[in-house]
Amino acid sequence: MGEIHARCLSAMDGVQIHALCDVDEQRARALCDQFHGTYATTDPERALRDDDVDAVYICTHHDTHSMLAIRAAEARKHVMMEKPLALTLEECYAVGNAVEKHGITFMTGFKMRYYPSVARARAFIPAPLVTVGQMLDARWPDDFWANDPRKGGGNILSQGCHTMDLVCHLNGSPPVRIFAEGGNYTHPGVQIFDNIVATIGFANGTIASVVQGDSGQTPFVSKFSFQLTDGRRTAHLRNRLKTVTLFDGEHVQETVDPEEYGFAEENADFIRSLRQKTPPPITHVDGLRATLLILNAFEAIRTGRPQPLTW
Ligand SMILES: NC(=O)c1ccc[n+]([C@@H]2O[C@H](COP(=O)([O-])OP(=O)(O)OC[C@H]3O[C@@H](n4cnc5c(N)ncnc54)[C@H](O)[C@@H]3O)[C@@H](O)[C@H]2O)c1
């Protein structure tokens, strides 16, 4: 992901990629060469101490997100954070407190919000009654770092934050309650929840369901499928969110985008917010909300009880 973001940034005027950091020195050097950086380092502190650095991109494994974000905030560097914000609520709050205390600009990378199909569905149904969100991956390899309970947290914590964020974005009202069933099905012996089905209640009384996991056979089970209805109109997003079908009760309108979007657009928004000193459209609070929903879904599975959401 560091490479993808660097590619987006290198296409933008007035942005210089200065320091490339990875604990794996070869990877840092390779990116530095590729993007004509000033130096490569294995020490994040070197970049954080560097007065020539205005902002940092955190594209590391999930167990390092909060530590790096807090250090960046303390060093007054603005942050683009790859999802998820962190793996625990304590870490999420610690990041949020550091961001607010030091007044940095912080954006969470929920690129799915930028798909044109998402904007079309939101414009067509601004106040959905029922929202359905599904992200089903094919089974993740056991040795994938994101499946490691400590480094990655498994599919639900890694990917489910995208799904939770998009469902909340499509719904528009704050989530107030979550219930879930699920557990460990596809990776026995690994201490993670790998497949869940959750229901969410929103402050305005509307509802959503979320299916997340790695029990699918994509594309025969849709990796991404989001549906909204307000009782009169319906929208269905599928085909990796490139296709959206809108139905107003009489007419069907289907749009198919040629490609997926998100990375260039979120980078443009981040840089714009730095230049204009305005808050980015997706902040640490959005990152916290998505992880809060997942951790409370886990708690609902453990206790068998719906969980009220407060933060
Ligand atoms: N938005 C998306 O669509 C999307 C897609 C894939 C991955 N991601 C996210 O991007 C992030 C990175 O994933 P990836 O697939 O690029 O993983 P990756 O394993 O390819 O790269 C992560 C790199 O971080 C380095 N690293 C680990 N700890 C470090 C530390 N403390 N300091 C410096 N470097 C460190 C590793 O050596 C590795 O090179 C994750 O948060 C992941 O969830 C987002």
Cβ–ligand 1 distance for 266 under 6 Å, the answer: no
Under DSSP, is residue 114 helix (H, G, I), strand (E, B) or coil? helix
CATH number, domain 112-259+291-308, options 3.30.1960.10, 3.30.360.10, 3.90.700.10, 3.40.50.720: 3.30.360.10
Query: CB of 108 closer than 6 A to ligand 1?
Result: no
User: What letter would DSSP give residue 231?
Assistant: S
Please calculate the CA angle 137-237-156 and round it to the nearest 5 degrees: 30
Nearest to 6 by CA among 42, 59, 44: 59
Domain range summary for the chain, segments of one domain joined by +: 2-111+264-283, 112-259+291-308
Identify whether the C-beta of residue 153 lies closer than 8 Å to the C-beta of residue 297.
no
- Which ligand 1 atom lies nearest to the CA of residue 111? 1
Helices (H) and strands (E) counted in the chain, each on its own, are 9, 14
Contact, 144 vs 175, CB < 8 A? no
**Distance from Cα 59 to the centre of ligand 1, integer Å:** 4
Per-residue pLDDT of the chain (311 residues; tens, 9 = 90+): 999 999 999 999 999 999 999 999 999 999 999 999 999 999 999 999 999 999 999 999 999 999 999 999 999 999 999 999 999 999 999 999 999 999 999 999 999 999 999 999 999 999 999 999 999 999 999 999 999 999 999 999 999 999 999 999 999 999 999 999 999 999 999 999 999 999 999 999 999 999 999 998 888 888 999 999 999 999 999 999 999 999 999 999 999 999 999 999 999 999 999 999 999 999 999 999 999 999 999 999 999 999 999 87
Locate the ligand 1 atom nearest the alpha carbon of residue 3 and give its number.
Answer: 16
For ligand 1, is residue 44 a contact (CB within 6 Å)?
A: yes
Find tokens 């205005």 and name the residue.
54
Pocket test for ligand 1, best of 60, 151, 224 (most atoms within 8 A of CB): 60
- By DSSP bridging, strand 207-216 and strand 224-229 are unpaired
Strands (E), 121-273: 130-138, 175-183, 195-202, 207-216, 224-229, 234-238, 243-247, 252-256
| Ligand 1 touching residue 59 (CB < 6 A) | yes
Q: Could you tell me which CATH number the domain at 2-111+264-283 has? A: 3.40.50.720
Edge-first strand listing for the sheet containing 224-229: 252-256, 243-247, 234-238, 224-229, 130-138, 207-216, 195-202, 175-183, 307-308
Indicate if ligand 1 lies below 6 Å from the C-beta of 82. Answer: yes
- Name the one residue in this structure whose structure tokens are 């089903």: 136
Cα angle 82, 292, 150; round to 5: 60
Beta-bridged to residue 133, according to DSSP, are 210, 226
